[in-house]
Structure 1
Amino acid sequence: MKHIFSISLISLFFLISISFQTKAQISNQPLKMPEIGYPWKKSELLEPSVLAGFIQSGKEEIAILNIGAVEDLPGALHIGAVSDERNMTKLRQLLTNLPKHKPVVIYCGCCPFTKCPNIQPAYQELSKNGFTQIKVLDLPTNLQTNWISRGYPIAKKQTNK
């Protein structure tokens, strides 16, 4: 049983490392949707199941940034909605301390991508600052539908005593 678990864990790490290093074979052009132009490529979208597996593995090799007004994922740094200039300033300050080659996953999930005021500005800020391994958590509907309802982990809320 331990042998099967070890093989599964090694396979998961392999798949995650590939997802951060491979380029899309479909197109190298930015993902486009009707009437919406996204700055990220399809290869930069990260499936929720992949991130959930990475979180459950306990490795801390990536930075997960909550750039919206939604629940935090385990290990995520809560920036807040970057459509608010104060939170964009927090993001800019955080980015000065992160290595440019470090994998960074951003997510919001407040609403569908087509309406989200936070994902594009955060992605553009990371790109402008020279980050080379940016991933956008693929939450096309919202965090509740594409993450929570699938049973993926949410950070426990802190209680004030």
Structure 2
Amino acid sequence: MKNKSISVIKYFSLIVLFCTMAVSNIAKAQISQGSAVSLDKPNLWTSKDLIEPAELASILKGKKSSHPLILNIGVVENIQGAKSMGAASKKENVDKLQAQLKSVPKNTKVVIYCGCCPFDKCPNIRPAFSMMKQMGFHNGKLLNIPVNIKQNWIAKGYPMLSNN
């Protein structure tokens, strides 16, 4: 009798384990399908695709002719010289970004940024960065704002667009 109850417990434990795994997989699939960007995907960029905030701030202090085209693909405040494209998680804003880049030579230095939240949670950078690369921009960079614009740019005193 004791062996039968141990077998029943093992059998029940296996059923619970399989059900837990199934529910977990269903939840992951629903999250991925419901969001514009699957956050489980690896980054589309490498370290050489990033530009550090200090480097961009230094460039902005130099001659205007050396400034890259800076595009804000989020809903945060504008860095000095940036053009706001709107949140790239929305198709109409990705279309707007694509239209902006269509007439720009492919060798132009372009910097895109969002800064709304950490890279791994941002719904805007992946669609914009992917589209820019698909269009053939070899000098396209993603501003390395791993936390948010306030911490990684504004708090350091880097230049912002004046609202005056």
Fold match by TM threshold 0.5:
yes
Structure number, greater radius of gyration: 2
Query: Are residue 74 (structure 1) and residue 75 (structure 2) matched?
Result: no
Query: Are residue 150 (structure 1) and residue 125 (structure 2) matched?
Result: no
Deviation by residue 1:75-107 (Cα, 9 ceiling, x = unmatched) = 111111111112111101111111001011110
**Paired residue for 1:50?**
55
Out of 107, 113, 118, the residue aligned to residue 107 of structure 1 is: 113
Residue 124 (structure 1) shift:
0.5
Residue 60 (structure 1) shift:
3.5
| Aligned residues: CA RMSD | 1.5
The question of whether the paired residues in 2 share the 8 Å contact of 1:68 and 1:118 is answered with yes
For residues 154 and 145 of structure 2, the distance between their equivalents in structure 1, rounded to whole angstroms, comes to: 11
Deviation by residue 1:110-142 (Cα, 9 ceiling, x = unmatched) = 000010011111111011111111111000000
Q: How many residues align?
A: 125
Structure number with the higher strand fraction is 1
TM-score (norm 2): 0.72
For residues 36 and 109 of structure 1, the distance between their equivalents in structure 2, rounded to whole angstroms, comes to: 19
The question of whether the paired residues in 2 share the 8 Å contact of 1:46 and 1:135 is answered with yes
Query: Are residue 117 (structure 1) and residue 123 (structure 2) matched?
Result: yes
- Give the match's secondary structure for 2:111: strand
Runs of 5+ consecutive residues of structure 1 not aligned to the other structure: 1-33
- Give the match's secondary structure for 2:89: coil
The question of whether the paired residues in 2 share the 8 Å contact of 1:64 and 1:105 is answered with yes
Give the share of equivalent positions with the same residue, in percent. Answer: 43
For residues 36 and 143 of structure 1, the distance between their equivalents in structure 2, rounded to whole angstroms, comes to: 23
Runs of 4+ in 1 over 6 A off after TM superposition: none
